[in-house]
């Protein structure tokens, strides 16, 4: 129990900005004065401890606090760290009363602080890093999980065309495009030969399931990518839209269900904790969306393959010196076990 609380504390909160992430604060303050409605300095800049992809800063002013996300400095993979896309999706979803931070302004001019960035509201609330929720009572645990699952269902029920995101991604062949994308990201960052990854890169594109629906997909929908209300067991803001696009809602849904097989929930006494089982979680989602649960083996293989592509990208950034925090090295080491676990699910789905 203590470990869970400690983990919450270790990743939450802020610190002084690391030397390698320092920016021109005077330039930023001048830009905000001009582009952020209601902004009034003076400005104090801190860095959040969590996160390792796009460096994220807390901007304190006497009146209110803001959050800034920016692209990392240095050499980057093509299409990665597209903060303009993040800004666009949270701006569109906010207009639908979907729980996201308020999108204030986007800057694509590298001259201001050295890279593109955007400013959003600082949502005060709680972030839970341990999925067993050791700090919560049993009743609250169940409600927190229900809110998390129903919020994803609500996202998938939004019509991209009606909310101004019809061109946010290509509508069809989502899984085929994703497999191709993460294979390319992996190749661009390759640091070692992983036989299982090679077999998956060949097998997955040949066995892609039919896509039945198109929705906005988040791409990394998990408990610690959302802020919960300070006292109520409900999602206040879903964060980290870096991987979002238009696609097959089954990607997010099966990624959600896979969390019951991962460290944290896999060995937990769900009944004693009053956390929904994987089947109960699926039912909560299906009750809102009307969708059915597919055979999960192919999707779990795909999700782990994609994570292997992501962690290999992090390994490449560690090698190139552009990874945003010390925990990046830890993530980079996961590529081999993720590839192996992915191949095990592929075999269950019929791969030989």
User: Per residue in 79-96, pLDDT tens?
Assistant: 556 899 999 999 999 999
DSSP 139-166: HHHHHHHHHHHHHHHHHHHS-TTTTT-T
User: Per residue in 88-121, pLDDT tens?
Assistant: 999 999 999 999 999 999 999 999 999 999 999 9
Bridge partners, 215 (sequence order): 247
Average pLDDT estimate for 152-174: 95
Query: Which CATH number is associated with domain 138-348?
Result: 3.90.1200.10
Average pLDDT estimate for 301-328: 85
pLDDT at 233 over 50: yes
pLDDT number for residue 10:
44
Average pLDDT estimate for 136-153: 98
Residue 24 to residue 334: CA distance in whole angstroms = 35
pLDDT number for residue 293:
94
**Number of CB atoms found within 10 A of residue 233's CB:** 20
What is the rounded average pLDDT for all residues in the chain?
91
- Residue 44 binned pLDDT confidence (cut-offs 50, 70, 90): very high
- Could you state, in order of their start, the residue ranges of all structural domains in the chain? 13-121, 138-348
- Residue 172 binned pLDDT confidence (cut-offs 50, 70, 90): confident
Average pLDDT estimate for 189-203: 94
Most confident of 4-13, 65-74, 299-308, 311-320: 299-308
Cβ(165)–Cβ(93) below 8 Å: no
How many Cα atoms are found within 13 Å in the side-chain-facing hemisphere of 21?
Answer: 26
Asked whether the whole model's pTM tops 0.75, one would answer yes
Bridge partners, 57 (sequence order): 47, 68
pLDDT number for residue 327:
75
pLDDT number for residue 79:
58
Q: Where are the alpha helices (DSSP H) in the chain?
A: 2-11, 25-35, 83-94, 138-157, 174-189, 195-206, 249-258, 270-273, 278-289, 296-320, 328-332, 335-348
The fold of 13-121 is Phosphorylase Kinase; domain 1 (3.30.200)
């Amino acid at each position: 129990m203590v470990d869970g609380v400690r983990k919450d504390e270790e990743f939450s909160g802020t610190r002084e900005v690391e030397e390698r992430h320092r920016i021109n604060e005077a330039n930023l303050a001048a830009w905000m004065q001009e582009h952020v409605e209601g902004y009034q300095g003076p400005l104090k800049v801190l860095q959040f401890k969590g996160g390792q992809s796009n460096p994220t800063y807390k901007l304190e002013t006497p009146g209110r606090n803001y959050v800034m996300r920016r692209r990392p400095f240095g050499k980057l993979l093509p299409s990665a760290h597209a903060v303009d896309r993040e800004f666009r999706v949270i701006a569109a979803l906010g207009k639908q009363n979907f729980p996201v931070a308020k999108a204030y302004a986007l800057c694509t001019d590298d001259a201001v602080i050295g890279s593109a960035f955007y400013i959003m509201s600082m949502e005060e609330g709680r972030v839970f890093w341990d999925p067993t929720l050791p700090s919560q009572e049993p009743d609250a645990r169940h409600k927190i999980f229900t809110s998390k699952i129903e919020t994803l269902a609500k996202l998938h029920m939004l019509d991209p065309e009606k909310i101004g995101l019809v061109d946010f991604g290509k509508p069809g062949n989502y899984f085929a495009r994703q497999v191709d994308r993460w294979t390319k990201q992996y190749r661009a960052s390759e640091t070692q030969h992983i036989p299982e990854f090679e077999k998956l890169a060949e097998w997955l594109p040949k066995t892609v399931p039919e896509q039945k629906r198109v929705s906005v997909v988040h791409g990394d929908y998990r408990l610690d990518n959302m802020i919960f209300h300070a006292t109520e067991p409900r999602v206040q803001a879903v964060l980290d839209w870096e991987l979002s696009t238009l696609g097959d809602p089954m990607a997010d849904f099966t990624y959600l269900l896979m969390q019951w097989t991962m460290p944290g929930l896999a060995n937990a006494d769900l009944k004693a904790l009053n956390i929904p089982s994987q089947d109960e979680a699926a039912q909560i989602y299906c009750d809102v969306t009307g969708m059915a649960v597919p055979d999960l083996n192919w999707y779990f293989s795909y999700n782990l393959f994609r994570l292997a592509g992501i962690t290999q990208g992090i390994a490449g950034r560690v090698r190139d010196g552009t990874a945003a925090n010390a925990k990046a090295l830890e993530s980079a080491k996961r590529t081999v076990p993720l590839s192996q676990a992915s191949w095990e699910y592929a075999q269950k789905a019929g791969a030989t």
